Amino acid sequence: MNTPISKKINIQKVDKSRIDQVDFDKLVFGNVFSDHMFECDFKDGVWQNPTIKAYGPLTISPAAKVFHYGQAVFEGMKAFKDEEDKVWLFRPDQNAKRINKSAARLAIPEFPEDLFFEALTTLVSMDREWVRKGPGNSLYIRPFVFATQAGVGASPSTEYKFMILMSPAQAYYTGDIQVEIAEHYSRSANGGVGAAKAAGNYAAQFFPTNLARERGFQQIIWTDASTHEYLEEAGTMNVFFRVNDTLLTAPISDRILDGVTRKSVIDLAKRDNIAVEERRVLVSEIVEAAKNGSLKEIFGAGTAAVISPISAFSFQNKTYEIEKQEDSFAAKFKKELTDIQRNLSEDPFGWRFEVV
């Protein structure tokens, strides 16, 4: 799965790389960025002036509508380097489709998929030295789009900027995490923007997550806004529950993000003959499973974290510990996923995309 790179992007290459200034052994997730970035503007009804240039600050009006009405969506994806110095993306077609789905929900014009792939592959190829080999290493890629029209009238913007930034990364979470099941706050509601990667979704999570952290938990498992009886997502990840040897996860809806890692885990489970149920999962059934010993695992799945085991959860001020499993599904899926991503195993699904 390769795409040719045409010459329609204006490329302004840096004179000297900043890579020698980076300590790749002490990275903080999302704080260091590669030499180049991509930007493209939507004006007069068309996307125009696609450019790759040196990473740096923007000049933008304080009246830009993104600041006032929150028209901003983003994606998260990664590039990996194998032992032969080949660079790979993982299911980038899904990110291209999802950012446009998110954009449509926020009345943002869709970005051409062919230009998305051209910009993405050109940018990664130019900064391929920022992709480091080895377990846990990757280049995190952040495509995003936001409203730039100056004006505080409450209407959709007529101008936007689409950008791609890239940041060398190591593991997002180290070790197991403990979570609190939400009983009051909600991530999203029916008919809302929960299925979109809207910037405001994450802003609204910060306050309740901070409250959970004050009580000793790293993340929240969100419940439905109507009754708080059904489990939905875990923090910035989709969430899976292993009850005996069956994997349970909430179905995709207008409240729940269609995660790329989520759907990959489901495909791997089906290939490995592991029973998967995509259905509404009651808080009460997971609490009961924890009490009777049939709850074997809970883990989050997302691009940044890949697979994150959850060692305990709290509900109604009671904490339930989850015993480590020798035949951990979380460990199994993480290895299978990362082996495909890093070209260490066969890719029967056609998920890998080589950047040439």
Per-residue pLDDT averaged across 18-34, rounded?
95
User: Contact, 329 vs 274, CB < 8 A?
Assistant: yes
Q: Is the pLDDT of residue 157 over 50?
A: yes
Q: Is the pLDDT of residue 171 over 90?
A: no
Return the residue matching tokens 């045409």: 6
Find, among 190, 193, 274, the residue nearest to 240 by Cα.
274
**Distance (Å, whole) CA 235 – CA 152:** 32
pLDDT in tens, 53-65: 999 999 999 999 9
**Distance (Å, whole) CA 206 – CA 211:** 9
Q: pLDDT band at residue 176, thresholds of 50, 70 and 90?
A: confident
Looking only at the bridges linking them, the beta strands covering 281-282 and 230-234 are: antiparallel
Say which DSSP state 198 is in: B
pLDDT for position 2: 40
Do 10-170 and 177-341 come out as alike in CATH topology?
no
The listed range with the strongest mean pLDDT (94-103, 182-191, 303-312) is: 94-103
pLDDT for position 249: 98
Alpha carbon distance, N-terminus to C-terminus of the chain: 11
Per-residue pLDDT averaged across 33-39, rounded?
98
Q: Is the pLDDT of residue 284 over 80?
A: yes
Q: Is the pLDDT of residue 101 over 90?
A: yes
What does the domain layout of the chain look like in residue ranges?
Answer: 10-170, 177-341
Per-residue pLDDT averaged across 327-356, rounded?
97
- 3-state SS, one letter per residue, for 49-82: EEEEEECCCCCCCCCEHHHHHCCEEECCEEEEEC
Q: pLDDT band at residue 236, thresholds of 50, 70 and 90?
A: confident
**Distance (Å, whole) CA 326 – CA 331:** 9
pLDDT in tens, 195-227: 999 999 999 999 999 999 999 999 999 999 999
Find, among 346, 226, 332, the residue nearest to 273 by Cα.
332
* CA 307, chain centre distance (Å): 12
Q: Within a 10 A sphere around the Cβ of 26, how many other Cβ atoms? A: 8
Q: How many residues does the chain have?
A: 356
Half-sphere exposure of 334 (CA within 13 A, CB side): 18
Q: Is the pLDDT of residue 1 over 50?
A: no
Helix (H, G, I), strand (E, B) or coil at 224: coil
pLDDT for position 259: 96
User: Contact, 276 vs 230, CB < 8 A?
Assistant: no
pLDDT for position 4: 38
Per-residue pLDDT averaged across 320-326, rounded?
95
CATH number given to 177-341? 3.20.10.10
Per-residue pLDDT averaged across 89-104, rounded?
98
In this structure, is the dihedral angle defined by the CA atoms of residues 336, 342, 346 and 350, taken in order, positive or negative? Answer: positive
pLDDT for position 173: 65
**Distance (Å, whole) CA 99 – CA 82:** 27
In this structure, is the dihedral angle defined by the CA atoms of residues 124, 129, 133 and 139, taken in order, positive or negative? Answer: negative
User: Contact, 189 vs 255, CB < 8 A?
Assistant: yes
Helix (H, G, I), strand (E, B) or coil at 293: coil
What is the pTM (predicted TM-score) of this model?
0.94
Q: pLDDT band at residue 148, thresholds of 50, 70 and 90?
A: very high
Q: Is the pLDDT of residue 68 over 50?
A: yes
Class of domain 10-170: alpha beta
Helix (H, G, I), strand (E, B) or coil at 115: helix
Mean pLDDT, the chain, integer: 95
Amino acid at 181: I
Q: pLDDT band at residue 317, thresholds of 50, 70 and 90?
A: very high
User: Contact, 142 vs 165, CB < 8 A?
Assistant: yes
Q: Which residues contact 321 (CB under 8 A, 6 or more apart)?
A: 311, 312
